[in-house]
């Protein structure tokens, strides 16, 4: 009887030890996963380099994006890789590759805002390197993929991408043509275009 009790007690101790070890492993695993998730929310240097290097081949860019994991990772200003590509690249190719690559796997939200409330579409018009033709091409592409021209920068009135296009349209006919395209394709109501009531 004593032997049976001792064997049962030993068995309980082993089971308890295994349970404690399993719980310890689970806690360590959860902690590791939380750290990885936090790291994935920050744009990795190799991804940023690939986004900014406009001579990157498709293969190199896609390989670098494999390290990105989270397309909504941000830099210290809250900018995603889509915003950075829209703001810094001379050509639309990198932005298109990024959106198309990620768009194959998830439904992208291109209306995310940085710390100041700017979206990728805002950054298209703040890009000092891009030609007017490139800005228009990027803007059309982003709108086709779901970017809204009506998102306002935080605490600033008349600071939407549409406002930027209207200002540019006063000086350059290409932007007036962009406004016409937006109306024709349903991205803008006629009354929102210049000459119509203010939004």
pLDDT tens per residue, the chain (199 residues)? 655 555 655 565 555 555 555 556 656 665 554 555 455 566 666 666 666 665 555 445 555 555 555 677 788 888 888 898 899 888 888 888 888 877 776 778 899 999 999 999 999 999 998 999 999 999 999 999 999 999 999 877 669 999 999 999 999 999 999 999 999 999 988 767 665 434 3
Same domain, 86 and 173: yes
Same domain, 30 and 105: no
What is the per-residue pLDDT for 120?
A: 94
Same domain, 31 and 85: no
Single out the residue of 73, 3, 88 nearest to residue 42, CA to CA: 73
- 136: domain CATH number is 1.25.40.20
Burial class (CB in 10 A: 0-12, 13-18, 19+), 119: buried
Same domain, 97 and 184: yes
Same domain, 26 and 108: no
In a domain, 49, yes or no: no
In a domain, 153, yes or no: yes
In a domain, 28, yes or no: yes
Same domain, 108 and 174: yes
CB proximity list for 34: less than 8 A, separation 6 or greater: none
What is the per-residue pLDDT for 196?
A: 47
CB proximity list for 102: less than 8 A, separation 6 or greater: 65, 71, 108
Same domain, 28 and 110: no
In a domain, 114, yes or no: yes
Same domain, 98 and 23: no
Residue 89 belongs to what domain range?
A: 80-192
Residue 7: phi and psi, rounded to 5, are: -65, -40
Domain total of the chain:
2
In a domain, 64, yes or no: no
What mean pLDDT, rounded, does the chain reach? 76
Same domain, 163 and 96: yes
CB proximity list for 65: less than 8 A, separation 6 or greater: 47, 50, 98, 101, 102
**Count of Cβ atoms closer than 10 Å to residue 122 Cβ:** 25
Cα end-to-end span (Å), the chain: 87
| Half-sphere exposure at residue 27, Cβ-oriented, CA atoms within 13 angstroms | 6
Task: Say if pTM beats, i.e. exceeds, 0.85.
Answer: no
């Amino acid at each position: 009887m004593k032997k049976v009790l001792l064997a049962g007690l030993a068995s309980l101790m082993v089971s308890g030890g295994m349970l404690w070890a399993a719980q310890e492993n689970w806690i360590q695993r959860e902690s590791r996963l939380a750290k990885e998730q936090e790291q994935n929310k920050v744009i990795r240097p190799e991804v940023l380099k690939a986004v900014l290097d406009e001579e990157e081949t498709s293969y190199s860019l896609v390989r670098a994006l494999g390290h990105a994991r989270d397309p909504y990772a941000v830099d210290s200003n809250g900018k995603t890789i889509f915003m950075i590509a829209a703001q810094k690249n001379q050509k639309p190719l990198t932005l298109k590759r990024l959106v198309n690559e990620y768009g194959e796997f998830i439904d992208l939200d291109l209306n995310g805002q940085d710390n100041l409330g700017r979206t990728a579409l805002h950054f298209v018009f703040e890009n000092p390197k891009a030609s007017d033709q490139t800005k228009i091409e990027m803007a059309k592409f982003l709108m086709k993929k779901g970017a809204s021209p009506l998102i306002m920068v935080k605490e600033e009135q008349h600071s939407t991408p549409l406002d930027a296009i209207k200002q540019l349209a006063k000086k350059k006919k290409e932007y007036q043509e962009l406004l016409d395209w937006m109306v024709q394709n349903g991205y803008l109501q006629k009354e929102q275009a210049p000459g119509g009531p203010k939004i």
